[in-house]
Structure 1
């Protein structure tokens, strides 16, 4: 197994070297650069990469030219499509067979990387015009970091890496920390983190501290840019707006009157349905809460798409069929960004089940919830949690289903208890205060000066 891994990755390196030779032969017009231009790269779905979309919008707002590069699988932010300073360059997705589980990962993994190498080099080196800056999301780090590094050298472009997390820790969550690919990925990420970037962004102070120490030892400048909500996420303006939306939305229109009267509580969560979000926590907590004598009816709306959605839908149906969720309705939905933002502002509580693989990243969904003035109950078992959620101020933390069930009991009991109502009001007030901290102001202060746009 180890021998095969070495052979396959040696093939990758050999082909990459050959591609480098091709890149060296780039005509001279490709190494000229525009004075205010940025390539923004995400090796993922652009529409599901809010932070990179916000980068693009901020650059364009200040007159910069943006080439936004990534997979075009879901609708990007509408302001990106309408902005004349932004051009989207879709990456060709790998063939379906490489994205399926019909062939072993040890074979499909390197082949998928080779495909991505080819598409990235074509778009970054030939399709798009030269740029002053190349802003890359990490993860995924393979092959993004090495290709971005080579392009930045050959095109005389400055490279900025936006560290959302670490690719190797995410891979370790599915393959185990001892897997050869995980060890290769870790070494690759550490080495390129040291030699590649001109500057770095991190989503937390904890991640910045970690990158500055071993095994990363990054010596180039590191700036912390906390995620902030975009302008589309706003607190509810009036109860009439809430009524209008709840009566229109298919998932809530038949219970809108009960929600508006406070007799039914509305909770919302968004997810990509991946292993780093254990929805068993929420289902077990709701099951436990439903058994309490003072439980208030709950409607839970879960938004998003992903590989484990069918699995959890089947489990939800089984729980409901067995009568183990009395007074609880769990619905899954796929909403437009506008409807999702309004839903957050109309809900009573947001739920976040994000489990940080590195311990130092933060979930964007909580930022969006705060932007909408929605208090949260969030999984808290990682180091950077309190950089975003303040216990008893704008939300509550939990690590087990029992702890989450107790939060539901404390906030949603049907008993006429003024203390419970007051706690939820305090949390909402704290979330609304967080909503005042916006992306544009933070970005202008942290990133704009580096890109020489502010």
Structure 2
């Protein structure tokens, strides 16, 4: 940790819920660990990581939410929202200690890129963009590629991307695309799991199940243990022989994740319980988002008898424990640009949890089918993978051997964590900018 960095102020901008922006929280902690003074600006809602809240070098600045103006016409509402966010973001940037470096998350591009660039221009700060995806491809999902707002977002991303003094992105495919399309040179910073995402002991799993059983009866048992574990003595915990399987997924309930694919696969699972000696399956889906209520209504109508779907909102400290306690993960992420990677898979890999991941153009940069996990392209293919994994559970020797093979690869993956990755790829760039 360098003491000279104490005089350098870094601001991270998230035009979204800070607590649901893990990559920017990791950036903030990495800067703070190197003794930079760090502000992170964004919206409240979900609780940020406790380490971020407790760190002496970090401060969270929450912006005022956009007022409810649903009674206005759609275009007027959008213009008002953009104006409101521009002004509140600029005020948050200006009415704090001057920043030397501003790193902004993209997407969203409007009005984030213009507002942060304008601040950097006036106050002579270094303007950095961290590309998680493209704003214009996400907007095109609902508006269509030829919509004028999509064209505006494309121009804004290309123009202000070239204005940035440094750019980081999440894949090599995106790095190539930025260079070929817009002549933007970007450094690749792959997502890597922080130390919290790791395998855990059976005792820690038992403690999590006991806490969850107070809210969700699916985790409880009549003998004082849980549906998955039982206590032999004060310190002795064992897995139940006939325990349910745990399938886990995380979703933002948005249009770039077709949750119906998993629902269809679970219906096929239900139909094959007896033929393949399948266990009762508890499907834990975490996350918040606009389409959650729509899918919850669909789930109610399925009337599944051998599959129970629960949708808890887990605290940031419990989420890694849930992943480490599960038997199989599912990622439904379909990149709007085909150029980003699902962070949920990175988190699952950190816990040595094998994943069934929806396949798309650059997924191979993270998931290697049959080597460290599975990829699928249809609900039937996903159903087959889930059925094969849980057939004769938990005594299937073929599944156990494949699980061991996957975990060997995931152990190699997790030998290089977020902080080491950040120190190797981001810190040298920042040090060069602040000479």
| Global fold match (TM > 0.5) | yes
Q: How does 1:261-272 map to 2 (within 5 A)?
A: 261=240, 263=242, 264-272=244-252
User: Is the aligned partner of 1:357 residue 2:336?
Assistant: yes
The counterpart of 2:64, out of the listed 89, 92, 97, is 92
User: Is the aligned partner of 1:291 residue 2:259?
Assistant: no
Q: Residue 90 of structure 2 corresponds to which residue in structure 1?
A: 121
Task: State how many pairs are aligned.
Answer: 408
The counterpart of 1:337, out of the listed 297, 316, 326, is 316
**Structure 1 runs of 4+ with >4 Å offset:** none
Give secondary structure in 2 for the equivalent of 1:278: coil
The counterpart of 2:372, out of the listed 365, 389, 394, is 394
Contact 2:259 2:295 in 1 (8 A): yes
Q: Residue 234 of structure 2 corresponds to which residue in structure 1?
A: none
The counterpart of 1:83, out of the listed 29, 42, 55, is 55
Give secondary structure in 2 for the equivalent of 1:289: helix
In the TM superposition, what is the alpha-carbon distance from 1:53 to its structure 2 partner? 0.5
Tell me how large the CA RMSD over aligned residues is: 1.9
User: Is the aligned partner of 1:307 residue 2:290?
Assistant: yes
Q: How does the TM-score come out when normalised to structure 2?
A: 0.90
Which stretches in structure 2 are left out of the alignment for 5+ residues? 230-238
Q: Residue 38 of structure 2 corresponds to which residue in structure 1?
A: 66
Contact 1:138 1:163 in 2 (8 A): yes
Q: How does the TM-score come out when normalised to structure 1?
A: 0.86
CA distance 1:103–1:403, change in 2 (3 Å): farther
Give secondary structure in 1 for the equivalent of 2:318: helix
Once residues 196 and 228 of structure 2 are traced to their aligned partners in structure 1, the CA distance between those partners, rounded to angstroms, is 27
**Superposed CA offset, 1:382-416 (max 9, x none):** 22201111211221011210010010121111276
Which stretches in structure 1 are left out of the alignment for 5+ residues? 1-32
Q: Residue 197 of structure 1 corresponds to which residue in structure 2?
A: 164
The counterpart of 1:109, out of the listed 78, 87, 98, is 78
The counterpart of 2:134, out of the listed 156, 166, 172, is 166
In the TM superposition, what is the alpha-carbon distance from 1:258 to its structure 2 partner? 4.4
Once residues 354 and 24 of structure 2 are traced to their aligned partners in structure 1, the CA distance between those partners, rounded to angstroms, is 25
In the TM superposition, what is the alpha-carbon distance from 1:246 to its structure 2 partner? 1.9
Contact 2:48 2:316 in 1 (8 A): no
Q: How does 1:209-358 map to 2 (within 5 A)?
A: 209-214=176-181, 216-218=182-184, 221-236=185-200, 238-250=201-213, 251=216, 252-254=218-220, 256-258=226-228, 260-261=239-240, 263=242, 264-292=244-272, 293-294=275-276, 295-320=278-303, 325-358=304-337
In the TM superposition, what is the alpha-carbon distance from 1:34 to its structure 2 partner? 8.1
In the TM superposition, what is the alpha-carbon distance from 1:427 to its structure 2 partner? 2.3
Contact 1:301 1:332 in 2 (8 A): yes
In the TM superposition, what is the alpha-carbon distance from 1:436 to its structure 2 partner? 2.4
In the TM superposition, what is the alpha-carbon distance from 1:245 to its structure 2 partner? 2.1
Contact 1:34 1:130 in 2 (8 A): no
